[in-house]
Amino acid sequence: YGSVDILVNSAAYTNKTKTDSFDNSFENTTLESWNQMLNVNLTGSFLGCQTAAKYMKMGKGGSIINISSLYGVVSPNHKMYPGTGIVQPIAYTVSKHGVMGLTKYASTWLAEDGIRVNSITPGGIFDGHSDLFLERFGQLSPNGRMSKKEELDGALIYLASNASSSVIGQNLIVDGGWTTW
């Protein structure tokens, strides 16, 4: 239609799309794996923001929504993971903290052009996790469970719509209360 009105930056390495040393300990993470994850999770978000902003400026505004992570706000609770087949590598946490910084920077740079930049921090999203992981996660979350993908829909619609016309540089946390402890 000749314009870009909304960008949702959501690409990231996860436990389903791993780098070569995704499962390695902090001490054994390879530089290649570190760079791969930062390139997708952080540099990819930067490039998406940069490209969309050029088109949004021509259209006199828009909304950029960066998807961060629970681990862009807090560090992983490493005691939760042993025996579950799930890990959270250092580069994931660092990249998601970077997405938060990118959001704040871009929001102040682009606001005068009518472009709103915000982020959403999902908590754990259920995706076929093991019973052991679900039990541990539930014990650490005030609502006692992981979120469903569709529970992010309201936050996305809000930040994409004019209902959030004065929301700039904010991080909307949708985590079942995880970060309130």
pLDDT tens sequence across 104-156? 999 999 999 999 999 999 999 999 999 999 999 999 999 999 999 999 999 99
| Model confidence at 1: pLDDT above 80 | no
Question: Do residues 65 and 119 make contact, with C-beta atoms less than 8 angstroms apart?
Answer: yes
Q: Tell me which residues are annotated as active site.
A: 92
Closest CA to 73 of 106, 90, 107, 96: 96
pLDDT in tens, 8-61: 999 898 877 888 888 888 998 999 999 999 999 999 999 999 999 999 999 999
Note the pLDDT tens digit of each residue in 75-87.
999 999 999 988 8
* Tokens standing for residue 51: 């490209």
